[in-house]
Amino acid sequence: AQIMSRGLPKQKPIEGVKQVIVVASGKGGVGKSTTAVNLALALAANDSSKAVGLLDVDVYGPSIPKMMNLKGNPELSQSNLMRPLLNYGIACMSMGFLVEETAPVVWRGLMVMSAIEKLLRQVDWGQLDYLVVDMPPGTGDVQISVSQHIPISGAVIVSTPQDIALMDARKGAEMFRKVHVPVLGLVQNMSVFQCPKCKHRTHIFGADGARRLARTLDLDVLGDIPLHLNIRETSDTGQPIVFSQPESDEAKAYLRIAAEV
């Protein structure tokens, strides 16, 4: 609200970046960062001529360093811009590269905004076809600020099929519409669990919640990602599934979503 009252900052594209896709969620822990990472890898895998970057503006809880198995301080270019770190062919920038891993990230309002501005403006991306942005969860100042600073091609909203996550996802979709960011659609994460032993399928968080929400909000469902141990393990060990197990059904689910955005 504070940002709104200061008036709209002038939107300026990030130099060298053709399309910005933000990945957002109403609440934490629904798989937003996992989706952002695998979506970035899938965009690159679907078309090897495309250059893809990943920007982590989840300044309170950056996950990209761990998920992309990266750490270290970015070098500065001649024009004093930060150079992204590279892994699996994806250029990455994260608050996690700029602060000690153990440092408590107790950013107060203004510090967060200056950190965001640094991440949006002081990175030398070179030429990118897609920049995937991992947003913080929720609908706060950071999300609004990012939407006001740079032109965004579209938002992907991640939710589990559970009522509570969906209520928050709805708020997210409504916020993006208010700031004129097109919502590309919903990703329903953890929708089905298949027992690796008996192959029985269980809808742990409900079956079709995101689909129903999508219908009421007139949004597309971009795809379903199953709840799967391999997604958790690969994500948490910095070997994202689209990179490490591209032939798996789980990776294919992300590749299909990337083909939709």
Binds ligand ADP by CB under 6 A, chosen from 21, 190, 242, 261: 190
Q: By C-beta, is 122 or 244 nearer to ligand ADP? A: 244
Q: Does 66 bind ligand ADP (CB under 6 A)?
A: no
CB 23 to ligand ADP: min, Å: 8
CB 196 to ligand ADP: min, Å: 13
Q: By C-beta, is 51 or 209 nearer to ligand ADP? A: 209
Give the E-state strand segments of the chain in sequence order.
17-25, 52-56, 85-87, 90-94, 128-134, 154-159, 183-194, 201-202, 221-227
What count of other Cβ atoms lies within 10 Å of the Cβ of residue 195?
Answer: 9
Torsion (CA) 152, 52, 85, 70 in degrees, nearest 10: 100
Which region among 31-39, 82-90, 103-111, 142-150 touches ligand ADP (by CB under 6 A)? 31-39
Contact between 186 and 261 (Cβ < 8 Å) = no
Which region among 47-55, 106-114, 200-208, 228-236 touches ligand ADP (by CB under 6 A)? 228-236
Binding mask of the shown chain, residues 71 to 110, with x at each position contacting ligand ADP by CB under 6 A: ----------------------------------------
Q: Does 28 bind ligand ADP (CB under 6 A)?
A: yes
What residues form DSSP beta bridges with 154?
21
Binds ligand ADP by CB under 6 A, chosen from 26, 51, 63, 82: 63
For CA atoms 210, 211, 215, 218, the dihedral sign is positive
Contact between 138 and 27 (Cβ < 8 Å) = yes
Q: 173: Cβ–Cβ under 8 A, 6 or more apart, which residues?
A: 155, 157, 183, 186, 217, 219
Q: What are phi and psi of 259, to 5 degrees?
A: -70, -20
Q: By C-beta, is 9 or 29 nearer to ligand ADP? A: 29
Q: By C-beta, is 30 or 186 nearer to ligand ADP? A: 30
The residue count for binding ligand ADP (CB under 6 A) is 19
Contact between 251 and 226 (Cβ < 8 Å) = no
| Interface positions with ligand ADP (CB under 6 A) | 25, 28-34, 63, 137, 189-190, 225, 227-228, 231-232, 235-236
